[in-house]
Structure 1
Amino acid sequence: MPILALAARHHQVGLETLERLSARPAAVRRAVLAACPGVRGVVVLATCNRFELYLDVADGGPRAGRTPRGPARVETEGADDDAHAVTEAVAQTLGLLLADVRATLALVSHPVAHLCAVAAGLDSMVLGEREIAGQVRRAAAESRVDGAMTGALERLVSAASRAARQVATETSLGALGRSVVDVALDAAGLTPSGARPAGTRTEADPSMLTRCVLVGTGSYAGAVVAALARRGVRHVDVFSATGRAAEFAEPRGLGVLSTPEELTTAIAAADLVITCSGSGTVLGPEHFAGAPSTPPLAVVDLALRRDVDPAVGDLTGVRLVTLRDLAGLAPGLGAEDLTRARMIVDRIVADLAGADRALAWGRDLAAARRRTLDAHPPHARRRLHAALHPASARAHAAARAGDRRA
């Protein structure tokens, strides 16, 4: 399975760089397919943590090698040439300097193992984050719509999804249920009971439940609403700069803010504001003019491309939390669980490598068997076919196990 991966991750580059790279994933996907003849398929994974491209490359492109029993690795011969072609397409599409893109997007040495670890939440800003597995599936779905998925990429994404499920069920990551949103709500002081954020009014009063304003209606907004519901927050008003608030809010029983004036009024009465639209600056200091200076208003900006003007954080009575703040707040995971999670990923990667070997050897065996059968008269072919079957089955099993002596 010749898979090439290029990646830029939050712990390697700044969030501003990730923002620029992640601006137009669909355009990047189409540009790479159009500009790189050696690329048969591509999945673009663009999140608040990372910008990554997974590419199914033709035999004449980068060489994907394997250890005798280990996961796929990228051999540098040939890979650099196609990587340069891909980064050139990315740079042209996004209007970035080619040198900057090439300095930012790095070849991933073991792409299969990497995506499995990513989907399982082992390579995230928040270790064990819940959203990433769904983001991988959505990235694959978008590639299917564009006709950019191949059998090799489908098997890769399927393996990554298995890794995510097994790590969630066989380690404490699933029980913890952490996510970027959960860490953000913790940072904002929102308790699991849905009481007002710490320091706001009287949490003991059951009538003092949190009033939340949500800006954004994309897939991440759904994750925010789910996280708020888990904490007992029911009073949520939704605003969308693109006019999609009613479409998103009404099926979920949420309030709708139809105008900027309604948004400003709702913020004045809110205890918590969460933004995740990613459409650029939506909230500025003027939106908080009517908000009381005490108790403090928690404002959480979850957009990679900031929704909230940084000047809002300087206002008296406003506590602004951004993605940059969250990177240092996520709790860790025990060594035993980490070891177990990595063992699960290693096993799934080895299984996929075996399946790929079996598939490749199966094609070669089928071709050889056809040639052998064609060389004999029709009346002898049935007996010859039966005689060849046991040897073919043994070779198939040996291929899955990685036994090259078969």
Structure 2
Amino acid sequence: MLVLGISHATAPLDLLERLSETERPLDDLIRDITAVDGFDAAVVVSTCNRLEIYAEARPDASGDALRELVTRHADLEPGALDSHLYTHQADDAVRHLFAVASGLDSVVVGEDQILGQVKQGLDRSQQLERSGKVLDRAVQTALRVGRRARNETGLNEAGRSLATAGLGFFERQVGSLTGRTALVIGAGSMAGVVVAALRRSGLSRVHLANRTPEKAQRLAATADGDGFGLDDIPRLLTEVDVVVGATAATGRVVPVGTVEAAMAERAGRPLFVLDLAMPHNIAPEAAALPGVTFVDLQRIAEEGEGDEISAASVVAAQEIVAKEVGSFSAGLRLAGATPILTAMRNAAAEATEAELSRLARRLNDIDESTHQEISRSVRRIVDKILHQPTVRVRELAASSDGARYLDALGELFVPGAPGAHRPPDKTKVEAIA
């Protein structure tokens, strides 16, 4: 397995926005990837903070082709992403996937939304019939590992969503939000998370604005608020204390002029802006306006305090990931041993049957019961001889050097095979790094 990705850890916010703003569907990117020679299956995980491709890659796969596809998908000039892309292969790829699903690679460590986003990536590839056995197994295992890391460590209690992290950021700067009112832009799944976080923070009322006011009203009713259309935003900005951008709109929903006009009518009352959207729902230029406290994903990543996630919880989650990677990789190597063991046993069985047939022709005067007893004895001897090598092959295959042993055994019992048990040739993809 090969991973090619770009995330908040390697790229600035404006570049990640370009990846989110592209009009090219992810379905097309997945089809393009699997159309490249050497890439048999692909899963794309796309969030506001990352775009990652997980691919089943043959040894002759071209990493350059994959990099060019991502660059074209973002409508960027050739080479624009080179210094921001990262790659992982084999065990490192599995380790990265498990860490991502566990929330260990998120802006807010331990956040829960990434689990659903990883599952969406797998579901998309399966619907397009562009996934594969290894990827299916890897992602399904990653989802289980992610849940385990949260449930068995303090990560589940300490790790919080981006909405909670942003509100916590406000509270550390301006004090409690209890009794204040808020406006949430959007009415989708992210908006639902935001509303829940706002209610836990003690806000007295939460309004929602959405392209479909009826949808906004249904969600707003759960927080003693009202639903509005997008045209009502300028007026609402003069009334509420907190505004949160949480819609997937590709353009600015609230331009800087709208915020500036609202501040002129607020008579000095501050406005707290939390923009969790990618690209921004609210013009980031509003951060320069007097009385506006503006927090976005970039600021959370750079200045946030990690929500007091304990180091012990992170270490414990990392240990779970490490053990699960070992088990998963050993299982893959063990699966690679199966065709070799089958070939070894088939070769022994063919030799046994050929020798028994030759013996039957030479000793044609023995009765059938004697012949059957001789045949059973010979087969038992062969089985006993093969038992210890079979056990040992499985042990060696599961070890960290398993691929090397399987290569040698493959040459002995499956000469000329394509070598599906062999790991990808690192020289074929190192140009991406």
Normalised by the size of structure 1, how large is the TM-score? 0.79
In structure 1, how many angstroms separate the alpha carbons of the residues matched to 2:217 and 2:140? Answer: 32
SS of 2:44's equivalent in the other structure is strand
CA drift of 1:11 comes to 2.7
Cα distance in structure 2, aligned partners of 1:306 and 1:166:
33
Give 1:91-130 correspondences, 5 Å limit.
91-108=71-88, 110-130=92-112
Q: 2:190 aligns with which of 196, 217, 220?
A: 220
Distance 1:91 1:219, change over 3 A: same
Q: Distance in 2 between matches of 1:114 and 1:175?
A: 22
Q: Tell me the equivalent position of 2:29.
A: 28
1:239 maps to which residue? Answer: 209
CA distance in 2, matches of 1:199, 1:329: 19
2:324 maps to 1:348: yes
Give the match for residue 243 of structure 2. 273
Question: Is 1:55 the counterpart of 2:55 in the alignment?
Answer: yes
In 2 relative to 1, CA 97–259 (structure 1 residues): closer, same or farther, beyond 3 Å? same
User: Once the two structures are superposed, what CA deviation does each residue of 1:283-322 show, in whole Å capped at 9, x if it has no partner?
Assistant: 0244443452443121111112111112322334332211
Alignment partners' CA distance in 1, 2:231 and 2:5: 41
Structure with more of its chain in helix, by fraction: 2
Q: Does 36-45 or 101-110 show the bigger shift?
A: 101-110
Q: Which has the higher contact order (CA 8 A, sep 6+)?
A: 2
Take 2:346 and 2:189, find their aligned partners in 1: how far apart are those partners? 50
Cα deviation code 1:208-262 (max 9, x no counterpart): x343222124442333233234435573333234x4x534652674566453332
Q: 2-side partners of 1:371 and 1:217: how far apart? A: 64
Residues 359 and 299 (structure 1), Cα distance of their counterparts in 2 relative to 1, 3 Å cut: same
> Could you tell me how far 1:390 is from its partner in structure 2?
7.2
- Partner letter of residue 13 of structure 1? A
**Distance change (3 Å), C-alpha of 1:227 and 1:375:** farther
Matches within 5 A, 1:371-382: 371-373=347-349, 377=353
Q: Which runs of 5+ in 1 are unaligned?
A: 62-81, 192-196, 204-208
Q: Aligned pair 1:155/2:137, yes or no?
A: yes
1:282 has 2:253 as partner? yes
Q: Which amino acid aligns with 1:355?
A: G
TM-superposed deviation, 1:5: 0.8
Aligned to 1:4: 2
Measured in 1, the distance between the counterparts of 2:388 and 2:215 equals 60
Preserved contact between residue 212 and residue 237 of structure 1 (Cα < 8 Å): yes
Match of 2:409 in 1: none
Q: Over alpha carbons, which structure has the higher Rg?
A: 2
Q: Is it true that 1:179 corresponds to 2:161 in the alignment? A: yes
Change (3 A) 1:151 1:248: farther
Question: Displacement, 1:118?
Answer: 1.7
Matched residue SS, 2:10: coil
Alignment gaps of 5+ in structure 2 = 358-371, 407-433
Q: Distance in 2 between matches of 1:169 and 1:7?
A: 27
Contact 2:217–2:228 under 8 Å retained in 1: no
**Alignment check: 8 A CA contact 1:216 1:238 kept:** yes
**Partner residue of 2:281?**
307
Rounded to whole Å, the distance in 1 between the matches of 2:78 and 2:294 is: 34
Q: Cα deviations across residues 126-173 of structure 1 (Å, max 9, x unaligned)?
A: 222222222222222222222221111122212322332222123221
Identity of aligned residues (%): 29
> Shift of the alpha carbon at 1:57?
0.9
- Give the secondary structure class of the aligned counterpart of 2:235: helix
Distance 1:386 1:184, change over 3 A: same
**Structure 2 equivalent of residue 135 of structure 1:** 117
Aligned mates of 1:149, 1:309 — CA distance in 2: 38
1:346-367: CA deviation from partner (whole Å, max 9, x where unpaired): 1011001111011111132224
What root-mean-square deviation, in Å, do the aligned CA atoms of Structure 1 and Structure 2 show?
A: 3.2
Give the Cα separation in 2 of the matches to 1:368 and 1:320. Answer: 67
Q: Distance in 2 between matches of 1:270 and 1:107?
A: 45
Q: How does 1:375-394 map to 2 (within 5 A)?
A: 377=353, 392=390
Instruction: Specify the alignment match of 1:79 in structure 2.
Output: none
User: In structure 2, do the counterparts of structure 1 residues 220 and 366 end up closer, same or farther at CA, with 3 Å as the change threshold?
Assistant: farther
Partner of residue 369 from structure 1, selected from 342, 345, 356:
345
Q: Which deviates further from its counterpart, 20-29 or 303-312?
A: 20-29
Residue 164 of structure 1, aligned match among 146, 168, 176: 146
Question: Secondary structure of 2:305's partner?
Answer: coil
CA distance in 2, matches of 1:234, 1:148: 47
CA–CA distance in structure 2, aligned partners of residues 136 and 347 of structure 1: 20
Checking the alignment, whether the CA contact within 8 Å between 2:216 and 2:228 is kept in structure 1 is no
Question: 2:272 matched to which residue of 1?
Answer: 298
Q: Evaluate the alpha carbon distance shift between residue 198 and residue 251 of structure 1 in structure 2; reply closer, same or farther with a 3 A threshold.
A: closer
* Corresponding letter in the other structure for 1:250: R
Structure 1 Cα separation of the partners of residues 226 and 131 of structure 2: 38
